[in-house]
Amino acid sequence: MTDVFRVALSGDFNKADGAPTFPDFDLDPLRDEPNVELRFLESEDTLSGRQLEDFDALILLAHRFARQSVPESGRLTVVARFGVGYDTVDVDACTDAGIALVITPDGVRRPVAVSIMTFMLALTGKLKVKDQLTRQAAAGFAKRSDHMGVGLVGRTLGSLGIGNIGAELYRLAMPFDMKYIAHDPYADKAVAAELGIELVGLEELFRRADVLSVSCPLSEATRHIVNAKHLALMKPTAYLINTARGPIVDQKALTRVLQEGRIAGAGLDVLETEPPDADDPILKLDNVLLAPHALCWTDQCFAGNGAADVRAVLDVMHGREPRGVVNRDILATEGWKRRLADYGSRFGS
């Protein structure tokens, strides 16, 4: 073993000209560590194990980490994903290799919840059409009473999932005096009770919500959980918001519902295919607000994600258990414990 802790960053953290993709990602805490060596990898859609042979840690942006990404050396100990989604990472491959997969819930909790609020206020306030009316000058002003907004007091805010982001959404919505419902098989009932959230069945969620946010991870269980059957249960005055992952929603079914006016509208920061085809019919609809999987992208969001990843990497280096581990079962394995103890003895705790 060397006395250098080597950290790789996926190549998409740099632009083609070598400039940082996200300048608010502060790497100085790693650069200031005397025993840390940083290296940006070559850009590859799926990382190869060859690239990662001599590294202890990887900070990963959008590139894929698959089974073939696991290096043969066994040195790689932590993959720190920049964000909370990890559908681009083979979790089982990480677990089999004794690699901790870490995400950054603290960095995205508030920014994504704010994104949901942004969609809710813009949709219920009819911001898109009112912007268009204003640009028509007198002719548009003459039609403004035809586009009355929807007040939120007493309306029902629903969420599919009340984890990190879902719970934060309800905290932000407190001043609007809405009713809260949610469906989440893994809900923390104490958190739900604290926030005044009524836990309901899946179909009841779709039936009752005036604004329904998708705030759950993408998995085989949640893929297309927002489908034609469940969309048919929604009120014609209701709005759907998705800031999680596109494939959670059956986009063809949603497009039909929006085209037929069977719900009032939708706010989508994520799509089933990203980027979408230029002729995707959902891009042509007036009752949809769209963002390119970037509505939460702010200086604070990216600074927070970066700080969380840096903290996780430094925790491992100094023999401490990092926060935000997805595959927590490995933390109890003897191999992981030995690795962590070795780092602690070499670099200090």
pLDDT, residue 44, reads: 85
Query: How far, in Å, CA of 86 to CA of 94, rounded?
Result: 12
157 bridge partner residues: 180, 211
Query: How far, in Å, CA of 269 to CA of 15, rounded?
Result: 23
Cα 269–275–277 angle (5° rounding)?
Answer: 115
How much helix, strand and coil, in percent to the nearest 5, is found in the chain?
A: 40, 15, 45
Long-range contacts formed by 136-145: CB under 8 A, 24+ apart: none
Question: CB-hemisphere CA count at 13 Å for 229?
Answer: 5
**Active-site position among 6, 155, 245, 311:** 245
Q: What number of helices (H) and strands (E) belong to the chain?
A: 12, 12
Is there a common fold for 5-103+299-347 and 108-286?
yes
Query: How far, in Å, CA of 322 to CA of 309, rounded?
Result: 9
What fold, for 5-103+299-347?
Answer: Rossmann fold (3.40.50)
For the chain, what are the domain ranges? 5-103+299-347, 108-286
**How far is the first Cα of the chain from the last one, in angstroms, to the nearest whole number?**
18
- For 162, the token pair is 């009340």
pLDDT, residue 348, reads: 85
pLDDT, residue 43, reads: 86
Query: How far, in Å, CA of 287 to CA of 126, rounded?
Result: 9
Active site residue 224: no
pLDDT, residue 226, reads: 98
**Active-site position among 147, 207, 224, 293:** 293
Question: What's the one-letter identity of residue 278?
Answer: A
Query: How far, in Å, CA of 178 to CA of 153, rounded?
Result: 5
> In the sheet where 179-183 sits, what is the strand order?
198-199, 179-183, 156-160, 211-214, 239-242, 265-268, 288-290
**Quick one: residue 177, left, alpha or beta (phi over 0 = left, psi -120 to 50 = alpha)?**
left
Which of 214, 209, 260, 216 shows the shortest CA–CA distance to 238?
A: 209
What fold, for 108-286?
Answer: Rossmann fold (3.40.50)
Query: How far, in Å, CA of 241 to CA of 296, rounded?
Result: 14
Active site residue 293: yes
* pTM (global) more than 0.85: yes
- For 229, the token pair is 């059957």
Q: What is the pLDDT along the chain (349 residues), one digit of tens a residue?
A: 458 999 999 999 999 888 999 998 999 999 999 999 999 999 889 999 999 999 999 999 999 999 999 999 999 999 999 988 898 999 999 999 999 999 998 889 999 999 999 999 999 999 999 999 999 999 999 999 999 999 999 999 999 999 999 999 999 999 999 999 999 999 999 999 999 999 999 999 999 999 999 999 999 999 999 999 999 999 999 999 999 999 999 999 999 999 999 999 999 999 999 999 999 999 999 999 999 999 999 999 999 999 999 999 999 999 999 999 999 999 999 999 999 999 999 998 6
pLDDT, residue 2, reads: 59
Active site residue 260: no
